[in-house]
RNA sequence: GGAGAGAUGGCUGAGUGGCUGAAAGCGAUCGCCUGCUAAGCGAUUGUACGCCCCAAAAGGUGUACCGGGGGUUCGAAUCCCCCUCUCUCCGCCA
């Protein structure tokens, strides 16, 4: 959520920034609603003030045995009026709040203007694409041939967009999770957390999934719980409604979770294989930072995520999302795209964002400065480090061999209990 | 699932209708004192929103907030109702 006072003072700027990301803001109704809120507020506060003063007089009069009937009758009327005003104030504030909740974040100045993903500039490429003396196979063929992936039975027990991992496939998924967690905790200094996979509505609103994107989420029927689409939600909300100590910043968390996405509106996209699933594993990096540090922290967070691919030996490129492709809550986002030989394309494997104070304002995450003891909103950041299912895909497709087996990347061998190749016989 | 108890500031904990934004203690910050440390003395120590002042900061002022929501009353931390969460006991259970 944007700062109400900032929006009020910079309406044209905010509207222009929103249009750059292809979003509209109704300046007129915002202004009139905001003005109305202040008008009512001033009136109701003046009346409350009067009531407070007179009520004290009533107390004094009664104590001294005098008659206060006149004042009491008068205040009865004032209280009734206050009640009326409070109701309309509540209505106006609710409307204004709902309006604020659906205004996306303002892109950072360094975010390039563009209409969509085709306009995202590449900031880095790493690694050499492997060459094959045959047509490299997509992971779903490799996986099913090796008996480590079973989409048919997944469809039988659950439905489309689910997968069953078995044998060395299940082991590989688990190895990737452990490898990533170890790297981020032991080398990059993140603190590991394991959180609930279901959260309440407030948490979803805190990080920006609600109210606007409810159709993308799974709701647990008969409860108020939603399945998390990413560990970003529970981990960021860990500090909701808290005032943090400046000395604890930058606070860095890493969390493995299953992620659940309804994938509404993606019919026909990536219907084969592991790329787009209703449930997948992800290792997520989350940071809470001081405002002046957050853009440096975004750079290091992105590099921390890239390090996973470097150690695995998977080629990738990193792009900056342009204004038209930027996510709702983000001020700036880098996408890391891994090379997938079987699909002959770079595919998104991580998305690293700085939300500035947008989520912090929604969720009430603040910190107190040590020197001035001023309270400010923190900046929140997060990024996949990495999407495990898609990393699984990248390993299969990049390390496939002519005989259909998969060479296990060096760094994963210890996590595979010494197995250095996945082949049919395993 | 059943029975009971509870939720107050950074923490502990008073407070059963007006003198309570909230006692006391602890902690923290600043100052004094002191060979060092400790102790001692003094002061300060919430958040949000509005208005005034204003380049801004600071300041002034008003309102709200004692788990959340609603009600009674001239007036609610305090009385009533609903909800959430925590604790204890019983039952069930990975």
- Does the structure show a pLDDT above 90 at A399? yes
Confidence of residue A337 (pLDDT cuts 50, 70, 90): very high
Burial A306-340 (b: 16+ CB within 10 A, else e): bbbbebbebbbbbbbbbbbbbebbbbbbbbbbbbb
The sign of the torsion formed by the CA atoms of A322, A323, A324, A325 equals positive
Q: Is the pTM for the entire model greater than 0.90?
A: yes
Average pLDDT for residues A310-314, to the nearest whole number? Answer: 98
Mean pLDDT over each residue of chain A, to the nearest integer: 94
- Chain B bases closer than 7 angstroms to a protein Cβ: 10, 18, 46-51, 58, 62-64, 70-71, 73-75
Summarised one tens digit per residue, pLDDT across range A12-52 is: 999 999 999 998 888 999 999 999 999 999 999 999 999 99
Catalytic residue among A8, A201, A276, A368: A276
CB A360 within 8 A of CB A291: no
Place of tokens 């540090």: A293
Query: In the structure encoding, which two tokens stand for residue A354, read together?
Result: 């700085």
- Does the structure show a pLDDT above 70 at A268? yes
Confidence of residue A425 (pLDDT cuts 50, 70, 90): low
**A153 is an active site residue:** no
- Does the structure show a pLDDT above 60 at A270? yes
Average pLDDT for residues A98-108, to the nearest whole number? Answer: 93
CB A226 within 8 A of CB A198: yes
**A191 is an active site residue:** no
Residue A33 CA: distances (Å) to CA of A26, A106, A214: 11, 21, 26
Q: Is the CB of A55 under 7 A from strand B?
A: yes
d(CA A336, CA A131): 21
Average pLDDT for residues A80-99, to the nearest whole number? Answer: 93
- Does the structure show a pLDDT above 60 at A314? yes
The residues with which A338 forms a beta bridge, in sequence order, are A316, A347
Position A426 scores a pLDDT of: 47
* Count of other CB atoms within 10 angstroms of residue A19: 12
**A348 is an active site residue:** yes
Average pLDDT for residues A315-344, to the nearest whole number? Answer: 97
Angle at A68 between CA A67 and CA A72, to 5 degrees: 150
Summarised one tens digit per residue, pLDDT across range A197-222 is: 999 999 999 999 998 999 999 999 88
Confidence of residue A396 (pLDDT cuts 50, 70, 90): very high
Burial A242-270 (b: 16+ CB within 10 A, else e): eebeeeebbbbbbbbbebbbbeeeeeeee
Each as own residue / partner, the long-range contacts of residues A299-302 (CB below 8 Å, 24 or more positions apart, any chain) are: A301/A352, A301/A381, A301/A382, A301/A383, A302/A334, A302/A336, A302/A352, A302/A383
Query: In the structure encoding, which two tokens stand for residue A134, read together?
Result: 């045959």
Position A373 scores a pLDDT of: 78
Place of tokens 């529970």: A234
Nearest-CA neighbor of A163 among A281, A338, A267, A308? A281
**Crossing angle of helices A139-146 and A168-182, rounded to 10°:** 120
Confidence of residue A267 (pLDDT cuts 50, 70, 90): confident
| ipTM for the complex shown | 0.88
Catalytic residue among A21, A171, A261, A361: A261
Position A372 scores a pLDDT of: 77
CB A359 within 8 A of CB A365: yes
Q: Is the CB of A243 under 7 A from strand B?
A: yes
Report CA(A345)–C1'(B60) in Å, whole number: 64
**A201 is an active site residue:** no
Position A60 scores a pLDDT of: 86
As a residue count, chain A comes to 426
Q: Is the CB of A45 under 7 A from strand B?
A: yes
* Count of other CB atoms within 10 angstroms of residue A80: 10
Summarised one tens digit per residue, pLDDT across range A222-238 is: 888 999 999 999 999 99
- Does the structure show a pLDDT above 60 at A322? yes
């Amino acid at each position: 959520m944007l700062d109400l006072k900032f929006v009020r003072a910079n309406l044209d700027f905010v509207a222009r920034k929103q249009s750059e990301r292809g979003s509209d803001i109704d300046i007129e109704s915002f202004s009139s609603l905001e003005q109305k809120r202040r008008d009512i507020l001033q009136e109701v506060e003046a009346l409350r003030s009067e009531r407070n003063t007179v009520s004290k007089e009533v107390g004094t009069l009664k104590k001294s045995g005098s008659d206060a009937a006149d004042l009491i009758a008068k205040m009865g009327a004032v209280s009734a009026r206050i009640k009326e005003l409070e109701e309309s104030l509540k209505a106006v504030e609710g409307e204004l709040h709902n309006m604020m909740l659906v205004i996306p974040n303002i892109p950072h100045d360094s975010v390039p203007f563009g209409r969509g993903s085709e306009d995202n500039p590449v900031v880095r490429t790493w690694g050499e694409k492997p060459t094959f003396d045959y047509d490299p196979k997509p992971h779903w063929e490799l996986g099913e041939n090796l008996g480590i992936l079973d989409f048919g039975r997944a469809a039988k027990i659950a439905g489309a967009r689910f997968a069953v991992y078995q044998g060395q496939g299940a082991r590989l998924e688990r190895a990737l999770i452990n490898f990533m967690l170890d790297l981020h905790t032991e080398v990059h200094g993140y603190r590991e957390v394991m959180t609930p996979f279901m959260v309440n509505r407030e948490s979803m609103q805190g990080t920006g999934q609600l109210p606007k994107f409810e159709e993308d989420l799974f709701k647990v029927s008969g409860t108020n719980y939603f399945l998390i689409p990413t560990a970003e939600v529970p981990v960021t909300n860990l500090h909701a409604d808290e005032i943090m100590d400046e000395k604890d910043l930058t606070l860095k968390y890493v969390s493995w979770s299953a992620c659940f996405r309804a994938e509404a509106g993606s019919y026909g996209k990536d219907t084969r294989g592991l790329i787009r699933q209703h449930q997948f594993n992800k290792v997520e990096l989350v940071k809470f930072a001081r405002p002046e540090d957050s853009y440096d922290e975004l750079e290091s967070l992105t590099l921390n995520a890239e390090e996973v691919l470097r150690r695995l030996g998977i080629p990738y490129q990193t792009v900056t999302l342009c204004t038209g492709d930027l996510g709702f809550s983000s001020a700036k986002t880098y996408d890391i795209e891994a090379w997938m030989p079987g699909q002959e394309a770079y595919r998104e494997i991580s998305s690293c964002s700085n939300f500035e104070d947008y989520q912090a304002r929604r969720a009430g995450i603040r910190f107190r400065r040590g020197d001035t003891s001023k309270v400010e909103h923190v900046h929140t950041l997060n990024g996949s480090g990495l999407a495990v299912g898609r990393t699984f895909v990248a390993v299969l497709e990049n390390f496939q061999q002519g005989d259909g087996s998969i060479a296990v990347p060096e760094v994963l061998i210890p996590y595979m209990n010494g197995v250095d190749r996945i082949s049919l016989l395993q």
